[in-house]
Copies of this chain bind each other. A is one copy, B any other.
Amino acid sequence: MTGTATGSATLPKPLDEGLAAVERAMLKVTDSQVDVLRDASRHILGAGGKRIRPRLLLLSYMALGGLELNRVARPAAAIELMHTASVVHDDINDHGIMRRGRPSVNAAWGRTFALLTGDYLFTAVYELMAPFGELNVDLAQAATALVEGETLQATAVKDNNFSRDVYMRVIALKTAALFRAAGAIGAKLAGASKSEVHALAEFGFNLGLAFQIVDDILDLVGDEDRLGKTSGIDRDQGRGVAVALGADKGNGSGSPPDPLEAIKRKMLEGDTTDMARGHANLLISSAIDSLGALEETPAKQALVELAREVINRDR
């Protein structure tokens, strides 16, 4: 464990250095001998993104006394690349043409190369994690959950049964499992106790649920320019919080017939975006509660701030 808290002024530098090391690790592992894989990887990675998963991993590590930010850059990079791989494949299945303010890999390189770039990023995750022994179990489970969540979502859209229960199961699998792994792996790398690992895993899990709910609300009501990605995809595809919770702002276009019908039916239940935001707020409180037993440190404070940022973000 770190010593006593010395004020948040001591935090930003090591975190920023850790995040810079994460960027370097991601670029290094994707420096393929095959031009299109290197170029497409740099295209999507160079567009930035919130980097919330590596921040969660690094801060979990620091909050439990970890000091070697360079050592944990690789697992943190792996977690971000896992997310990035799924995003590249998502944009194929969803026909998303914008991502992080740039054309999606699918839009810029076409479907074949987007599929291969996503595969390549998956194998880059594997390369980064290979030396990390047992931690591979955590990330492998999260990776499987992620794909299961995406598939469950696609199945629910196809079968037109996107209920609240299915929605919660989908976001637990496709988003919160990876957030949980980020918290758990960060804690384990710091040599944390079992209960500390559990606390950070729970923090990550609830943060991930809240993050996805807010993401889905933004997808529904957000402004495309500010989001930097094609918005309304969830509603058009008949999934997400919009469908699950029955809210629709009524500006849908190009929606396939069945999901739209489902949305309209559920609209009768009223505007539930506020309800969804209330649920996200509860999850954030619950996440912050998980940190109760942790020593007060700048890193713990930064985790709390991260949680608040998730609920207050507008993109």
Q: Which residues of A contact B (CB under 8 A)?
A: 32-37, 86, 89, 92-93, 111-113, 115-116, 118-120, 122-124, 126-127, 129-131, 133-134, 136-137, 139-141, 143-144, 146-148, 150-152, 154-155
Q: What are the residues of chain B within 8 A of A37 when measuring CB–CB?
A: 147-148, 151
Q: Are B120 and A151 closer than 8 Å at their CB atoms?
A: yes
A83 to chain B, nearest CB (A): 13
A34 in contact with B116 given A130-B137, A143-B123, A144-B124 (CB within 8 Å): no
Sampled A-B contacts (29; CB under 8 Å): A34-B148, A35-B155, A36-B155, A93-B111, A93-B112, A93-B115, A93-B116, A113-B154, A115-B115, A116-B150, A118-B119, A119-B122, A119-B147, A119-B150, A120-B144, A120-B148, A122-B122, A122-B123, A123-B146, A123-B147, A124-B144, A126-B136, A126-B139, A126-B143, A126-B144, A127-B141, A130-B137, A130-B139, A136-B136
Q: Are A33 and B148 in contact (CB under 8 A)?
A: yes
- A89 to B88 CA separation, bound complex (whole angstroms): 14
Task: Say yes or no: B123 contacts A144, CB within 8 Å.
Answer: yes
A116 touches B151 (CB 8 A): yes
CA distance A131 to B148 in the complex (A): 21
Instruction: Let me know if B119 and A89 touch, CB within 8 A.
Output: yes
Q: Which residues of B contact A124 (CB under 8 A)?
A: 144
Q: In the assembly, what is the distance between CA of A113 and CA of B34, in Å?
A: 27
How many monomers of this protein are in the complex? Answer: 2
Please name all residues of chain B whose beta carbon is closer than 8 Å to the beta carbon of A89 when the two chains form the complex: 115-116, 119
Which residues of the partner chain B approach A129 to less than 8 Å between Cβ atoms?
Answer: 136, 140
What's the least CB distance linking A279 to chain B, in Å?
A: 24
Whether A144 touches B115, Cβ cut-off 8 Å, given contacts A34-B151, A122-B122, A155-B34, is no
Question: For the complex, what is the distance from the CA of A202 to the CA of B2, rounded to whole Å?
Answer: 49
Roughly how many angstroms separate A89 CA and B126 CA in the complex, as a whole number?
A: 18
